[in-house]
Amino acid sequence: MMRGICAFGCSRLVPVILRMLCLMLLFAVFPNTAWAMPCSMGEEEAVFAQLQAGKRMEAEKTYSVPADPTVYLTFDDGPSQLTPKVLDILQAEGVQATFFVLGEQAEQRPELVRRIVKEGHVLGNHTYNHKYKELYSDFSVFWDQVQKTEKVLADQTGERTRLLRAPGGTFGHFDAFYYHYLSLAGYEVYDWNIDSEDARRPGMTAESIYRTVEKGPFRHELIVLMHDGPGHEESVKALPRIIRLFKEKGYAFATLSSSVKPVQFSLGKQKWPRTVSREKYEQMVAAAREHGKLWSDLPNIRQTPQTMIAAEGAVPGPERLRLQTGGTAVSLAKSEMIYRDGYYLVPIRQLSSLMGGTVEWKEQDRTAAVTRGLYQAEYDFAQRELRVINPAGALQTISLPEMEVRDGVLYVPLRKTLELFGGRVTAYLAEAEPGTAEVRISLSGPYGSWWGIYQQLKETAGLSKHSETRTY
């Protein structure tokens, strides 16, 4: 196996180096040309324009679905003097829950934060002070509060949380920019699909809270909103009956995690007037991307989740998928693609052709060798892994369990393959035409962007000591 990997990389070493030297010479002679920019300005303009128009960048992830009906109990605004009572009930019932805590409350009761974690529950970030006017007048304030709370929890427990809930929920509070920044930063934003209404109006009794939850709706996965902050004694009283309700209906109880698909409200009419300049946008994008590195344990070998374009509610998938880049498009009928749990697998040959690459199938080894400019890759179906040599010359081995071979055709994850070959998804239209979904793709030329090559060279230098990294 090792000899095969070395042969794969070393046999391509000379042409890779020669092409990089040629490109670097061109870059030195013509440093001010558009292709020497860190990224495509047209692409960035398109993303910015889409966000300004109030259109969210579509989700590019998939999530695991539990086999059994599952309910996620969530508690907001704590920890408070009521939290120990909630924890006692959960412990007696053998149930786990998720606590979206406020930073200022956590600072006052660090022992309760640690108890939540010790007893097997999960922490989520609910900002620092819950003040709507501060949080939703400017994203930078929201961002600062999230970071402050994240640090508080990390100092108290030694762990950071990716789970986040917006005070009051996202509807009318979030715009497309909020979602975009937080997604880039690696956060999962959770609203709910059952509101106990224990905080919606004053005077709610334990009975009325229970009756509200009892109305449902009851789906395969449920996220229930409750509160353990000050003043919610009636919520504590209602909790045992609510737990019994779900047990009687056959629900399992679980904590939220980044593998659980978030419930997210639509954008709605904004309650808070905001303007976003291009300069501010670029600053926040840079900060978000930098923060996102905290979640990626990215040594050169990593387990790759099934992260593909997801169309809300479109379980069967579209009748046709169109892949569009510039003036070139590839159209795939339903029989020519695989749509599973919200992500797409597409034939490597068609995708490679769209990217301007070539594919060679090796039946004996059951591998597909793909070349696109400076990128070299082998999809090894027998090992269920992908081996890539990027423009920096570093070998990456990535577990890719979701690849499939059907009738002699190799199907690979759409988004992951694009990213590994220097491309990216810029937009997803679930219904571009009746029955047709469209994925818009940006390709930074056959050799990737200079900024991408620079970043990969830098990462390679930093990863050179990793035991599984081989730089040729």
Please report, as a single letter, which amino acid is at residue 79.
P
Catalytic residues, which ones? 76, 227
Count of all residues that appear for the chain in the document: 472
- Asked if 227 contacts 194 with a C-beta cutoff of 8 angstroms, the reply is no
Please report, as a single letter, which amino acid is at residue 190.
Y
Please report, as a single letter, which amino acid is at residue 395.
L
Tell me the three-class secondary structure of the chain, residue by residue: CHHHHHHHHHCCHHHHHHHHHHHHHHHHHCCCCHHHCCCCHHHHHHHHHHHHCCCCCCCCCCCCCCCCCEEEEEEECCCCCCHHHHHHHHHHHCCCCEEEECHHHHHHCHHHHHHHHHCCCEEEECCCCCCHHHHHHCHHHHHHHHHHHHHHHHHHHCCCCCEECCCCCCCCCCCHHHHHHHHHCCCEECCCCEECCCCCCCCCCHHHHHHHHHCCCCCCEEEEEEECCCCCHHHHHHHHHHHHHHHHCCCEECCCCCCCCCCCCCCCCCCCCCCCCHHHHHHHHHHHHHHHCCCCCCCCEEECCCCCCCCCCCCCCCCEEEEEECCEEEEEEHHHCEEECCEEEEEHHHHHHHCCCEEEEECCCCEEEEEECCEEEEEECCCCEEEEECCCCEEEEEECCCCEEECCEEEEEHHHHHHHCCEEEEEEEEEEECCEEEEEEEECCCCCCHHHHHHHHHHHHHHCCCCCCEEC
- Asked if 228 contacts 75 with a C-beta cutoff of 8 angstroms, the reply is yes
Could you tell me whether strands 252-253 and 70-76 are parallel, antiparallel, or unpaired per DSSP bridges?
A: parallel
